[in-house]
Amino acid sequence: MRTGGFPCRLLGCDRTFQVVDQKSMDALTAASAARSEHEVAAHSYQHVRLADERSYMSFQRAKAKQASSK
């Protein structure tokens, strides 16, 4: 199994969009955006972002904020 990239979500398509820098949020976002762009352009597939992807991020942020305010 390949790691460090975003594979195209369409069955039968083996395109993977590598994250150039694993520690860079920008690289992660860029690879994700490139993958989504490919899915729309090549397959006319619009992925619906899961609601909990976002809420998980804000949960982590809220936790960090609480810890630093003490």
> 16 near 34, Cβ under 8 Å?
no
Query: 25 vs 37, which CB is nearer to Zn ion?
Result: 37
Least distance in angstroms from the C-beta of 23 to Zn ion? 26
Minimum distance from CB of 44 to Zn ion (Å)? 11
Residues found near Zn ion in the complex (CB under 5 A)? 8, 10, 13, 15, 42
Which helix (H) or strand (E) is 10 found in, with range? none
Nearer to Zn ion, 2 or 70 (CB): 2
Whether the CB-CB separation of 39 and 10 falls below 8 Å is answered with: yes
CB of 38 to Zn ion, least distance (A): 6
Q: What is the DSSP letter of 22?
A: T
Q: Of 10 and 28, which CB lies nearer to Zn ion in the complex structure?
A: 10
Residues 6+ apart with CB under 8 A from 42: 8, 10, 13, 15
